[in-house]
Structure 1
Amino acid sequence: MNIEKLNLNPNHHILVTGGAGFIGSNICESLLKNGNKVTCLDNFATGKEENINHLLDHTNFTLLRGDIRNLEDCHTACKNVDYIMHQAALGSVPRSINDPITSNAVNVSGFLNMLVAARDANVKRFVYAASSSTYGDSESLPKVEDKIGRPLSPYAITKFVNELYADIFSKTYGLETVGLRYFNVFGRKQDPKGAYAAVIPKFVMQFMKHESPTINGDGSYSRDFTYIDNVIEMNVRSIVTENKEAVNTVYNVAFGERTDLNELIGLLKENLSKFDPKIKDVEIRYGTTRQGDVPHSLASIDKAKELLGYNPQYNIKSGLEEAVNWYWDNLKE
């Protein structure tokens, strides 16, 4: 994404934790194109070296191999940094159900380490990846930031605790924080492999192999799918804003439209069949509903529009067209 129009000062040094991951590597790339100095902290537990290999020789890019569970690594990464975009976490509801201890260690203890290091380094602002999972069992739609329910998974608990810690650090230590509740982010560099692969790249890879993807449930569950460039925009807007009312709070990061899984399958087939007409005929399987999943998710983005000037450029259709083109060029075997 071209972020020059958002007026991010190219002289700022920005730390991106989890910078070798799907979202983090895209952020690193955009910041470097803007002229910023970028430090990437990653332990490569879920991040991929191929996501950042092309950045390693860039004069403004520094890779630190470290773990946010190690406070010393966090302090090292925060030295001489103006801003932090904290993307490091162990995602996935099922992963957290299978191993809640590790998810808590990374997402809570690691998050606290980063807040402490940011405070000690006098970082100007700490922008962090929150999650739509925080809405839990709240049935109200669209989701509005100040109305949440009870968490439905260990992962959701960890992300809610992040928001509580950020709020306390803002009030107690004066550290400016902004939390971004991501809604089902997709796009280039998203990993289609592994037990906890996100639905869009996983389905794309299966379609490309003429394999039948399995939908959890009857396909009526819906999500506010959010293209990666919208996420980059919100991270940058959270850094550049000078509106004091816009910091020390949380925002939904989404497009503000709901798409159910059956509709998603139709859009994927439509885009992929341009490359391979046989994909139109691939059958779909339906399985059991996944534990911890909420039935529907739809975000209100009014707060982000009002306070940050958020103006997402990609809806599900335009985002999928961009994403599928990238997947076809990079995932086919």
Structure 2
Amino acid sequence: MRILVTGGAGFIGANVCRALTTRSEVESVTVLDDLSSGDLRNLDGVGVDVVTGSILDEGLLAELVGGSTHVIHLAARPSVPRSLKDPLATHTVNVTGTLRVLEACRGSRPHLILASSSSVYGDRREPRKHEDLPTRPLSPYGASKLAMEAYALAYAESYGLPVLPFRFFNVYGPLQAADHAYAAVIPTFVSAALHGRPVPIHGDGNQARDFTYVGSVIAVLVDAAVHQVTSRKPVNLAFGTRASLLSLKDALASVLGRPIEATFLPPRTGDIRESQASPRLLVDLFPGVRPVSLDDGLRMTVAWFEKAMTHLPTAGTSRVCVPDVASSPSTGNQTAFHHMKSGEVGE
């Protein structure tokens, strides 16, 4: 297996690269990343070839895809608020960029895994979002992810391309950044709590999410690549665990062993009230994958942040111990490393 990972220097991408390089079936892993949000330090010590470039570069894509048996397409312009600020930029990367990837794959037809998003469902009232529900995205970001799904499935039908589109829900864990304006909720909460600040909650805190530990996501992605799993419809990559932001705050307080205060802010445009997956199709396709619980996932995430903070000097760089998130708590964690600058917590 020769695997190309687009966006491989980012949070999920770097974690999947770490896991792939431990598999005997994998001959090589190549990362394509423009480093607009990824960080090469996430890959420090990982045996991958890194190409700095854009998925919009047709010639570069053709060269890299041509030498690959598998492509895991994670490169994207993330964030609902960011898409509201600049929808054209979101479309260019997420839709046009995905179309470039599909075109590069059309001739050699490598196995292609794509990352879509639960945001395609919008704010539907059904308690669990299953893949046959009509989609109703509320933001340009959600619309861009729906478009990339449609293109991928059209290429599967038109050109016989073996594809597997996943709808990611709220993925969290080690290597996820907390130090930028569009940071996700769990790293934002963890960073604030560890620094003794109130956690910021937009709205009343009763909005709910299906938080999915990155190790569980990586286990599915690796299994899908190794066994070349395909699907003619998108697959939810979450396990149906519902948690409100208020209950998340309480769970984090339990992990830390102390109360956490909250600051309530106005609701954000485009935010979804309820997001919970039906995992039925996922479990059918990947019966051997066992999800990491929210409590265990928070413990490992907090441990990673604490190690990062402990090893950060006042200046320069240091080596930070990062748990191997592809291992579950029951199987033990191996150790990986990456460099971090003072004041940064990873991507």
User: Is the shorter-chain TM-score for this pair beyond 0.5, marking a shared fold?
Assistant: yes
User: Which residue of 118, 138, 158 corresponds with 2:105?
Assistant: 118
Q: 1:181 to 1:97 in 2, by over 3 A?
A: same
For residues 33-53 of structure 1, the C-alpha deviation after alignment (integer angstroms, 9 at most, x for no partner) is: 114210000000000121012
Tell whether 2:23 aligns with 1:34. Answer: yes
Hey, what does 1:258 align to over in structure 2? 242
Which runs of no fewer than 5 residues in structure 1 stay unpaired? 1-11, 274-279
Alpha-carbon offset, residue 306 of structure 1: 1.3
Hey, what does 2:124 align to over in structure 1? 138
Alpha-carbon offset, residue 207 of structure 1: 1.1
Tell whether 2:190 aligns with 1:230. Answer: no
Question: Could you state the TM-score of these two structures normalised by the residue count of structure 1?
Answer: 0.89
User: What's the secondary structure of 2:93's corresponding residue?
Assistant: helix
Aligned-residue sequence identity (percent) comes to 36
Hey, what does 1:7 align to over in structure 2? none
Equivalent positions of 1:174-253 (< 5 A) are 174-241=160-227, 246-253=230-237
Q: Which amino acid counterpart does residue 92 of structure 1 have in structure 2?
A: S
Q: 1:242 to 1:210 in 2, by over 3 A?
A: closer
Hey, what does 2:76 align to over in structure 1? 89
**Matched positions, count:** 309
Distance in 1 (alpha carbons) for counterparts of 2:214 and 2:63:
28
Distance in 1 (alpha carbons) for counterparts of 2:194 and 2:179:
13
Conserved in 2, the CA contact under 8 Å of 1:41 and 1:64?
yes
For residues 156-205 of structure 1, the C-alpha deviation after alignment (integer angstroms, 9 at most, x for no partner) is: 00000011101110011110110110010000100011100011111111
Q: 1:263 to 1:282 in 2, by over 3 A?
A: closer
Conserved in 2, the CA contact under 8 Å of 1:212 and 1:284?
yes
Hey, what does 1:45 align to over in structure 2? 36
User: Which residue of 147, 151, 154 corresponds with 2:137?
Assistant: 151
Q: Which amino acid counterpart does residue 81 of structure 1 have in structure 2?
A: S
Hey, what does 1:101 align to over in structure 2? 88
Alpha-carbon offset, residue 234 of structure 1: 1.8
Distance in 2 (alpha carbons) for counterparts of 1:50 and 1:113:
27
For residues 6-42 of structure 1, the C-alpha deviation after alignment (integer angstroms, 9 at most, x for no partner) is: xxxxxx1111100000000000000011142100000
Q: Which amino acid counterpart does residue 207 of structure 1 have in structure 2?
A: A
Distance in 1 (alpha carbons) for counterparts of 2:146 and 2:287:
25
RMSD: 1.5
Question: Could you state the TM-score of these two structures normalised by the residue count of structure 2?
Answer: 0.86
Alpha-carbon offset, residue 281 of structure 1: 4.2
Q: Which amino acid counterpart does residue 117 of structure 1 have in structure 2?
A: A
Alpha-carbon offset, residue 310 of structure 1: 5.3
Distance in 2 (alpha carbons) for counterparts of 1:77 and 1:107:
19
User: Which residue of 276, 294, 315 corresponds with 1:298?
Assistant: 276
Hey, what does 1:24 align to over in structure 2? 13
The range that moved more, 311-320 or 295-304, is 311-320
Alpha-carbon offset, residue 241 of structure 1: 3.6
